[in-house]
Amino acid sequence: MNIAHCTQVNVADQPCLRALLGSATDSTIIETPFHCSYGVNIHLEERVFLNAGCTILDSATVRIGAQTMLGPNVQIYCAQHHKDAEKRCAGLEVAKPVTIGKRVWIGGAAIIMPGVTIGDEAIVGAGSVVTKDVPAGATVWAIPLAFAGKATAAGDIPAAISYSG
């Protein structure tokens, strides 16, 4: 399907997009470009918004709850390669589902790893890599700013310290 000429796609206006996805409502909006592995494993509830550049590797089921917003370049991965090098080189892969609740906000360039569940009304900060379940109502981010300080006259850079301001 080629929707590259559009900047915003409403599922109601694109029958071929509706056919690609496992399920979606007329109120689903997807900004282009949008990439997915299969599409058939993606299920979107009412008023889901996917911003430009989202990628969903749906080798397992991906469910996104009503009124959830994904920022630009969010990536959702279901595929996980085998940890044993021989099995990995043989092409053995496992897929784990991803579930995102209702009224969730996922900031731009966040990555959601295989098997993760994000609870209702959670917020995931931009650039985060989510490897574990996020409880409902939680606000999480995984890349905190660190202040390294100023280099000394000798060129030494002090050890990083937490920045909380």
Question: What does the pLDDT look like over 116-133, one tens digit per residue?
Answer: 999 999 999 999 999 999
Residue 152: how many CB atoms within 10 A of its CB? Answer: 9
pLDDT at 103: 98
Q: Choose the catalytic residue: 5, 35, 43, 81.
A: 81
In this structure, what token pair is assigned to residue 73? 């370049």
Residue 35 annotated as catalytic: no
How confident is the model over 92-100, as a mean pLDDT? 94
Alpha helices in 85-153 (DSSP H): 85-89
